[in-house]
Structure 1
Amino acid sequence: MFSSKAQLQKRTPENGTDRENFLSLLVDEYLNSSSYDAKCQVLANLANFAYDPINYRYIRDVGVLDIFLYVLKNETDRKLLHFASAGVCNLCLDPANAEYILNHMGLKPVIALLGSEHNETVANSITTLIYLFNEQTKSEINTCEINSLVQKLAQSDDKMLSNLATVFLQDICQLSN
């Protein structure tokens, strides 16, 4: 559910931690933890915060988007990639976040996730590519290689993947012709 500043203030105890500080604490925990389980849990929490537009500025300011992009570019762990791809997918609706993702070379790792064996990660990738598609990204997103891969995904038994791939093919391929 989306929040307003007034709702956040109302739900924050008088001596409680505000949203930006809380996100900053999560970033610190992720960066300083050596526990795989803790990293997964924190990354999942950060991806959930990325769902609410009221958090977008805080997420950029405290470096959450940088963590998501770092994970997409450098990690191979399926769970970490899933949470990071979900976070990027949630954030890319915002024009400032989309620009940040594109300016920080986030498109190639998102494209690479189309080959993931984890269906939800692939769904996040397709959705992110749909949201990031514009005149600037057209030549990178609407390629024969990507379109061929997405055509195969459109035949998937997984209805979520099949439907998203079909939307991609209809919207992205049609817009580019």
Structure 2
Amino acid sequence: MFSTKSQLQRRTPDNGTDREQFLSLLVDEYLNSTSYDAKSQVLANLANFAYDPINYGYIRDVGVLDVFLHVINTENDEKLLHFACSGICNLSCDPLNVKYIQENCGWKPIIQLLNRNNTDIVANIITTLIYAYEKPEGKILDAESLLKIKDFEKSEDKKVANLAAIFLQDVSGLN
């Protein structure tokens, strides 16, 4: 459910932790934890916070997007990649986040995740590209990546096939 600032304030006790501070604590926990389970859980929580646009500014301010990009650039674990891709997907509706990704990571490591066998990761990446492609930072795919997405139209996973078809339809409408 999307929130407003007044709804957040009503739900936060007088002595409670505000949203920005809580997100900052989660980022610190992710960065300082040596436990795989803790990192997984924190990354999942951060991806869930990325669902609500009210959090976008906080997420940029405290480095959540940086954590997602770091995971995509350095991790090979499917679960961590899935949570990071989910978070980036949730954030890519916002042009400021798309611009931030472009300026701080580029699209190459994100697009390379289309080569994963995990259909949830692939679906998140295609959805991210659907959101990002129309932004000024769009036109981010090379011909090989477009062909890969075209191949996904034939995927047995209907979610991936449908997302690929939507993306390709959107791209053809832009050219």
| Aligned-partner SS, 1:93 | coil
Normalised to the residue count of structure 1, the TM-score between the two structures is 0.94
Alignment correspondent of 1:96: 96
Letter of the 2:14 counterpart: E
Contact 1:151-1:169 at 8 Å conserved across structures: yes
How do 1:34-113 and structure 2 match up within 5 A?
34-113=34-113
Alignment correspondent of 1:126: 126
Which blocks of at least 5 consecutive residues in structure 1 are unaligned? none
In the alignment, the residues of structure 1 paired with residue 70 and residue 106 of structure 2 have an alpha-carbon distance, to the nearest angstrom, of 9
Which blocks of at least 5 consecutive residues in structure 2 are unaligned? none
Question: Per-residue deviation at 1:157?
Answer: 1.2
Contact 1:110-1:128 at 8 Å conserved across structures: no
In the alignment, the residues of structure 2 paired with residue 27 and residue 18 of structure 1 have an alpha-carbon distance, to the nearest angstrom, of 14
Letter of the 1:133 counterpart: Y
* Deviation by residue 1:46-89 (Cα, 9 ceiling, x = unmatched): 00000000000000010000000111111111111100011011
Normalised to the residue count of structure 2, the TM-score between the two structures is 0.95
Letter of the 2:165 counterpart: T
Question: Per-residue deviation at 1:172?
Answer: 1.1
Quick one: percent identity of the two aligned structures? 61
